[in-house]
């Protein structure tokens, strides 16, 4: 169990990145949702020993992740948002190098681990190719391979599918799903679909604060029968609806505006009751907690 207690962080200049965040995260896939600048990456960097909080604690099965950085790094797998590689090195050579740095010194054991990870991440056929020639999705899969070295107990992936094409995204999400059963895996993202497809529990963070925590299905249940949709032809009508009702979101559909609003009572004027989804939960919570 990963226990996060009252983590706060203020950067120089007065930017409050985290404001007393507390979470209990069990083994499995945990989704951390929030817009850019919400504080997700700050939280991930603290857990990955790259940043110290101003207050608070984080422990994994009794190990203090903040005070015992060396021990934390031995059980941590981390794929940051910006993951750099040596472009002229092959995947197999780079993994061997990183394995040595992780303390896997026996050559036979290291060879078995590296080859197994290349197979698991579907990179075996391109293992000798220079990393600089990898596609974005291949680089992300290599990032997971290096994160899995030395059997980590905590895996952190920060915005892993941003910029991937649909096929690479699906391949990457399937890979994450396969590893997130017996260890704590935190998926930090602003892409709602990633959390909906992978995570049994989730939290939403905004402006450094935890604003919602729970199981995706249960958070959706709260909105059942309360999400209404209408397609409007003009911006003027859309603006009028925004002023009259609690707006959840607005999408362009066939060149027109589809607005989704929250209401506990039936709406006339062409509104249709629609099935709520996790995106409705996400945008509803962000609008409710938007700073004045």
> Do residues 262 and 275 lie in contact, with contact meaning Cβ atoms separated by under 8 Å?
no
By C-alpha distance, which of 133, 139, 130, 145 is closest to 175?
A: 145
Burial class (CB in 10 A: 0-12, 13-18, 19+), 194: buried
Burial class (CB in 10 A: 0-12, 13-18, 19+), 176: buried
> Do residues 23 and 180 lie in contact, with contact meaning Cβ atoms separated by under 8 Å?
no
For 19-29, the pLDDT digits (tens) are 999 999 999 99
Confidence of residue 149 (pLDDT cuts 50, 70, 90): confident
| pTM for this prediction | 0.87
Confidence of residue 292 (pLDDT cuts 50, 70, 90): low
What ranges in 8-123 are assigned the alpha helix state H? 40-47, 69-74, 91-101, 107-120
Report, in angstroms and rounded to the nearest whole number, the Rg of the chain calculated over CA atoms.
22
For 174-233, the pLDDT digits (tens) are 888 888 677 899 999 888 988 988 899 999 999 999 999 999 999 999 999 999 999 988
- Helix axes of 91-101 and 107-120: crossing angle, nearest 10 degrees: 130
> Do residues 180 and 29 lie in contact, with contact meaning Cβ atoms separated by under 8 Å?
yes
Reduced 3-state DSSP string for 56-72: EEEEECCEECCCCHHHH
Non-local (6+) Cβ contacts of 24 within 8 A are: 1, 2, 3, 4
* CB atoms closer than 10 angstroms to residue 22: 13
Confidence of residue 93 (pLDDT cuts 50, 70, 90): very high
By C-alpha distance, which of 150, 155, 217, 218 is closest to 183?
A: 155
- Helix axes of 107-120 and 166-179: crossing angle, nearest 10 degrees: 130
Q: Mean pLDDT for the chain?
A: 90
Residue 290 pLDDT > 80? no
Confidence of residue 291 (pLDDT cuts 50, 70, 90): low
Non-local (6+) Cβ contacts of 254 within 8 A are: none
Tell me what pLDDT residue 172 has.
81
For 227-282, the pLDDT digits (tens) are 999 998 888 888 888 888 899 998 887 778 899 999 999 988 889 999 999 999 99
Tell me what pLDDT residue 181 has.
73
What are the structural domains, with CATH classification, of the chain? 2-215 (3.40.50.300), 225-274 (no CATH)
Residue 101 pLDDT > 70? yes
Query: Cα–Cα distance between 47 and 49 in angstroms, integer?
Result: 5
By C-alpha distance, which of 162, 180, 147 is closest to 82?
A: 162
């Amino acid at each position: 169990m990963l226990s996060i207690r009252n983590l706060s962080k203020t950067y120089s200049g007065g930017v409050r990145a985290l404001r007393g965040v507390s979470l209990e995260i069990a083994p499995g896939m945990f989704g951390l949702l929030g817009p850019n600048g919400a504080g997700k990456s700050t939280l991930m960097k603290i857990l990955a020993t790259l940043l110290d909080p101003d207050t608070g604690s984080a422990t994994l099965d009794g190990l203090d992740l903040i005070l015992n950085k060396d021990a934390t790094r031995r059980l941590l797998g981390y794929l940051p948002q910006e993951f750099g590689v040596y472009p002229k090195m092959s995947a197999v050579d780079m993994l061997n190098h990183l394995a040595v740095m992780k303390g896997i010194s026996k050559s036979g054991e290291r060879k078995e681990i590296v080859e197994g990870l290349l197979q698991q991440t579907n990179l075996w056929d391109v293992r000798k190719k220079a990393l600089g020639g990898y596609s974005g999705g291949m680089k992300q899969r290599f990032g997971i391979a290096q994160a899995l070295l030395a059997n980590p107990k905590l895996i952190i992936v920060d915005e892993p599918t941003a910029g991937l094409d649909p096929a690479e995204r699906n391949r990457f999400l399937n890979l994450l799903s396969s590893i997130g059963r017996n260890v704590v895996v935190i998926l930090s993202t602003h892409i709602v679909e990633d959390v909906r497809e992978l995570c049994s529990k989730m939290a939403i963070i905004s402006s450094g604060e935890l604003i919602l925590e729970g199981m995706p299905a249960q958070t959706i249940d709260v909105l059942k029968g309360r999400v209404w949709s209408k397609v409007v032809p003009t911006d003027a009508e859309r603006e009028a609806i925004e002023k009259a009702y609690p707006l959840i979101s607005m999408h362009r559909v066939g060149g027109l505006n589809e607005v989704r609003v929250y209401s506990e009572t039936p709406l006339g004027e062409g509104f249709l009751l629609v099935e709520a989804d996790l995106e409705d939960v996400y945008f509803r919570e962000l609008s409710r907690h938007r700073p004045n």
